[in-house]
Structures are given as C-alpha cells and as structure tokens.
Amino acid sequence: MSEKIVYERPKSWVKDVHTHYCPGCTHGIVHRIICETIDELGIQEITTGIAPVGCAAMMYNYIDIDYIEAPHGRAPAVATGFKRVRPDRLIFTYQGDGDLASIGAAEIVHAANRSENITVIFINNAIYGMTGGQMAPTTLIGQKTTTTKDGRDPQKAGYPMRMCEMLKTLEGPAYIERVSAAKPAHLPSLKRAIKKAFQNQIDNKGFSLVEVLSTCPTNWGMSPLKSCDWVVESMIPYYPLGLFKDFE
Amino acid sequence: MGRVLMKGTEAIAEAAIQAGCKHFFGYPITPQNEIPEYMSKRLFEVGGVYLQAESEVAASNMILGGGSTGEPVMTSSSSPGVSLMAEAISYMAGQETPVVIVNVMRAGPGLGGILPAQGDYSQATGGMAHGDFKLIVLAPSTVQESVDMMQKAFNLAQKYRNPVVMICDGVIGQIMEAVEIPEGNPENLSNPVDWACGYMKERGKRTILHSLILDPEELESHNKHLEAKWKRIKEKETDCETYKTEDAEVVISAFGTVARIARSVVDKLRAEGFKVGLIRPLLVSPFPEKEFEGLISTCKHILDVEMNWGQMKKDVESAVKYRIPVSFFGHTGGICPTVSEIEREVRKIFTELG
Amino acid sequence: MAKGRVEILEEYCKSCSLCIEACPKNVLAISETINPKGYRPVTDVNSEDCIGCGMCAMRCPEAAIKVFKEK
C-alpha cells in the first residue's frame, strides 16, 4: 500500500541523541512540541532558546537552535535583554517551578508587566526535580517532598502559588494559558497554546506565557502512568486548566 | 562636539553612546543616577534602547542576554548594586559575553554612605564572583579619562569576549569638568557571526553560549582556555602612568581621584627638593607588574594611598616582589585624603629614611 | 488490512508506557527484548488494528515512534 507519514521526529530535534530525562517525564513531550512548532512556523534559524537551571538545563542538547544559558530564575531578564537588542529574532524561556516561581519571581513579574515580546513556557510539576525532590512554590498542601517529609504545612511553608492567576492581574501580559502534558486528551491544547505563544511573538503581540502541568515520576515516587493520573486528580483541581488572558 | 562642561556620570553615558553602545539596562542608585537618567533621554534620540530593570540582578542578566547578540551593551551601578551582579558576572565570564559595567564607587560596607570611596578594588580585580576568571578593570582618574576609557572598555570587551568593569570613585561621577568626547568609534571589533546568537543562517550552524560543563575534563579544558585568554590580556593590555619616578626615593602608588591628589603632593615636594614620584595604574586588572618592578632599583619606600583599607597594597607589594617596603595611608567612610595629609605622610617617610 | 503502521525507534524507548495508554486500539505493549540502555521497548503486538491516528507518537516523550497511514 502507498503510505504517507503521519508522525515522525521533528527536523529541529537533534539527531541521534538520547535524552537524559527519566522514563515518562513530560519534558520530552513539551520539547518535542516546541520542535514541531519551530518546524511548522519555519523559525529554526531565527529562534534562540534560553536554558534554565533544573532538569532542562541541558535542553540545548535536544533542540537544534541557538541557545543561551541563564542563571537560575533570570531567564525572563536574559530574554528581555536579548529581545530589546534583536527584536527581529525570536526568543523563548523554558522554566521550571523553582526557576520561575521561586528565585525568579521578580524577573517573571516584571517581564510580564513590561509586556516584553517574549514567549515563556512554564513547566509546573510541583517539585524540584534536578536537585532531588524538594518543595517547590507550587508543591500542594499535604504533598510529601524531601523538605516537607510530613507533607506541606501552610503554617510552616506557605501556600502553593498560582502563577497564571497572579500574572493575569497585570495589565502587561498579552496571553496567559494553563494547559497540561499529562493525558492524551490534553495534548492538542498543549500544542495549540505553545504554537500561539510563538505566533504572538512573531506578530509582536507582547508577553505570552503557557503554564504546562507536568509530571515528575521519579520524585513523586510513582510510575509514569500513575503520575499522569496524579496531575488530573490532584493538580488540576488546584491549578485549573484554561485561558487567563488573551489580547484577542 | 567640541569641549563641553559635563558632569562625570553624564559624560560617561555620552561617551558610551559615541563608542557604539545603543543599549543600556540599569537601575538607579546613588551616586550614579545621572547615567540611567541621561540614557533614558539620549538613547531614544539615537535609535537605541534604555530599559530600567527591576533590580541590579535583572540588569546584569539583561546585559547577559543583550551581550549574547554580539552588540555592545552596558549597565552601570554603585557598589551595593554591583554586588548584586556577581552571579551574572561569573556566568558572563564563563560564557565569554562581551559587556561593560560601570561602577561609581561609594563608601561601604553594606549600604554604607553615598560619598566617594575605592572600596571595590578587591571585588573588581578579584573577579567579583565564584569560580576562576578575571575581569578587565579600568580605573580612570579624571572625567576626560573616563570618557576615553569608555571607548577602550567596549573595544576590550569585544576583542576578548570578556566582561569589562570601569571603577570610578564617586568624585569622578559627580564633578563637572571640561571634556571632549570623541565622536563615533573607529574600531568595531565585534564579529558576532562567529559566535553570537541570532546568526544561525549566516554561520551555517547554531551556537550554544553556556557555562555548564558537567564532564570534568571538558570543564578543565574550558578553564584552561579562559586562563590562556587571560595570559594574552596580561601580556598586551596593561597600562600604567609613572610620574617623576626615575630617581624617586619615595613613590606614591594610587589610582583614580587619589592619584590626582597625590600628583599635587609630588609637585609640591619636588619643588622643595624631595625625590618623590607617583605610580598610577590605569588598568588595575591586569595589574601593571612591569612598571612596579622597574622601581626596585631606585625606590626605597612606597606609600600606597587609597580610599579603603589598603586593597591595592597587596598587589603593589607582590609586584615589587616584596623588595620595597610598602606602607599605607587612606580614608574610608567617604572621606578623600587631602594634599596636606598625604604630604605629611611622605615627609614622615623621608624623615625615617634619614 | 491495517490502515496505519508504527515504527518504534527501539533504542530511544524508555518503557514508560504512555503510548500504550494513548493508543485507542490496544496496538502496543511492552516487548520481551531489552535495548542497549536496559529498557524493554514497546512493540506493536496488534499491528493489524492500527489506524494510524498518531496518538502514541504525540504522547511519546522521546520522539521514538514514527507513524504511517495509507494514502
């Protein structure tokens, strides 16, 4: 029979590389979708990525574009500097929950407030992955981590932070949406949102942020499939999916 | 432009623009607020970008991003704000990002005072942050010199792909002097297509600007590359002024405004027959060891004068191979040593020398 | 005759099983073989039921699945 290709590795996925991510880690899904977006929009040669500090610190090994490494949390400031000097190029940050919501809290708020014409992809897996499973600002109440061994207690450690809800109160941002990488049914929205966040930058619409509820099977102590279920059962009720801000 | 009367901070800002810098990212802090203020108006006149960052942490990261394009970028701050830049500076040294940072020094430690000091010498010449690396550090002593050094700073940053710091004590920032600011930068040493982000098509392949290298041998190899670069900088880029040191028995070592004051002391005492001279590094990093070594045969004593606890003193001692005794006189707190105070110290030394 | 076909890039598979859950036709299962990294890669045990929807590939974090469909 004559066949057509429905799905293959994206062109901008680095050839012959094995990722260092844990089995089932949703970083791979988001990276792959970023590559698909870059291929579909034809922007490989004009896009620069900013690598965070976290499990995705070496994401430049997987996505074949220019890259700048940023100190922990500072990616929105690095992106701002880059974009102000080269507005004719595209830039995106890719940040975990520690990077964006903890050490980088000031930088993300101000980049959003200035409506910097950048794309931010926020990977929220409610834990610090790379450093071995400590509490994140987005860790849920009662969730056990290596620094909240009895479960997160708001009296001691404060409450989980809803970044989309906070940033939407600012006038600056053009587009804020929360999606998930956990279940097959979530993936079309994830792709649509990431593509929109890049298209917005091409169209000079201003600050775009996509929060992606993600898994961390290793530090949650669950299988990949169970982790995906946990996102649905425990994370989505606290971090509802949806559109928070849209310039359109 | 001709000769104009300008405040130091504003002259530095204009000089940066004339040197080709069209992008400034900074945060207000006394005593250099005139730099962001001047930039906020003037840059838009020349089609550039002024951005007031949310903090010095952010500003230092903005120049990391902006510098990664290969275009000349800068920030400015004063001592407490410069401390906040330490993290980004280490990353920029590791990633070899060409940027210029102006530090208009104030008295410390901590929030300290707002009057002039030279208390950030050790910070700047020591690299300012974690890991093995060095910064090129310029130390002007007049407003005209700051202006001339701005062009040099951008050129050195681009030539070596290294962060460059210019340390001015607060006096230079705040006084008004007649200056001539050279228009345009005759040397443009950046080759962004070779290494910068945003040139994937022109280069034919991508670039990754990173300092994370987990393999120890690879990281050592990178460190050796940075060391070799520093060796080249040391060989080619020292700059030091010696004033009446050929037969001087006592030499004053100083940098910045203090050197200017010390020069008056030299002139006054020479008129009375004292064999005194002045040695003044214009770049304090790399330190001008050769010029100091040149004093060993004739000089009997060096008086190091600074507005700090004596931060350059140890570099002076090391540079003269501990063969000339070095003593220190200085002030902290934002106080400038006066001509008569330095003169008194030098006379004491001559008395002791007999 | 199957409408679709999958090709598993076995060396990249980490046996996470996300694709197995994604497949609406139960085409995939963990195989008995072991790849050079020590994982048991997935395989298309019921290949005749494949409709070429691509859901498995869309979910794979390692981009280890190629999907074909008859024209």
Q: What whole-number distance in Å separates Cα of residue B93 and Cα of residue B209? A: 11
The count of CB pairs under 8 A between chains A and B is 130
* Predicted confidence (pLDDT) per residue in C27-43, tens digit: 999 999 999 999 999 99
Chains B and A touch (3+ CB pairs under 8 A): yes
Q: Which residues of A touch C65 (CB under 8 A)?
A: 7
DSSP codes, A49-80: EEE-SSGGGGGGGTB-SEEEE--TT-HHHHHH
Q: How open is the CA angle B59-A79-A27, to the nearest 5 degrees?
A: 130
How large is the greatest C-alpha to C-alpha distance in chain A, in angstroms? 65
- On the CB side of B279, CA atoms within 13 Å amount to 32
CB contacts of A77 in chain B (<8 Å) are 53, 57-59, 61-62, 64-65
**How far is residue A51 CA from its own chain's centroid?**
11
- Judge whether B289 and B141 are in contact, CB under 8 Å: no
A204 residue type, one letter:
N
Sole residue written with tokens 């009895």: A150
Q: What confidence score (pLDDT) does residue C60 get? A: 97
pLDDT in the model for residue B188 = 66
d(CA B50, CA B25): 6
Query: Which residues lie across from B251 on neighbouring strands?
Result: B277, B302
Render C21-54 in DSSP notation, one character per residue.
HH-TT--EEE-S---TTS---EEETTGGG-----
Q: Which two tokens stand for residue B302?
A: 């060096």
Helix orientation angle between B86-95 and B56-67, rounded to the nearest 10 degrees? 10
Residue closest to A2 by CA, chosen among C25, C51, C6, C3: C3
* Chain C residues within 8 A of A228 when measuring between CB atoms: 18, 21
Residue ranges of alpha helices (H) inside chain B are 8-18, 34-45, 56-67, 79-84, 86-95, 121-125, 143-160, 170-174, 192-195, 200-203, 216-236, 256-271, 289-293, 313-319, 339-353
Contact B57 A45 (CB under 8 A): no
Distance CA A70, CA B336 (A): 40
pLDDT by residue (tens digit) across B30-49?
Answer: 999 999 999 999 999 999 99
Would you call A64 and B25 a contact, using CB atoms and an 8 Å cutoff? no
- C22 CB neighbours in chain A (<8 A) are 184
pTM equals 0.96
Torsion angle, alpha carbons of B109, B111, B115, B116, to 10: 40
Q: Which one of C58, C62, C71 has the shortest CB-CB distance to A3?
A: C71
User: pLDDT 10s digit of each residue in chain A, 248 long?
Assistant: 689 999 999 999 999 999 999 999 999 999 999 999 999 999 999 999 999 999 999 999 999 999 999 999 999 999 999 999 999 999 999 999 999 999 999 999 999 999 999 999 999 999 999 999 999 999 999 999 999 999 999 999 999 999 999 999 999 999 999 999 999 999 999 999 999 999 999 999 999 999 999 999 999 999 999 999 999 999 999 999 999 999 87
Residues of chain B short of pLDDT 50, as ranges, are none
Maximum CA pair distance of chain C?
36
Alpha-carbon gap, residue C69 to C5, rounded angstroms: 6
CB contact under 8 A, B95 and A46: no
Q: Do A68 and B55 touch (CB under 8 A)?
A: no
User: Do C10 and C35 form a contact (C-beta atoms < 8 A)?
Assistant: yes
Check CB contact of B64 with chain A, cutoff 8 Å: yes
CB-CB neighbors (< 8 A) of C58 in chain A: 7, 184, 187
- How many Å apart are CA C69 and CA C29, to the nearest integer? 20
What's the token pair of residue A109? Answer: 């708020």
Question: Are A85 and B63 a contacting pair at CB < 8 A?
Answer: no
Amino acid in the structure at residue B64: L
DSSP 8-state symbol, A184: G
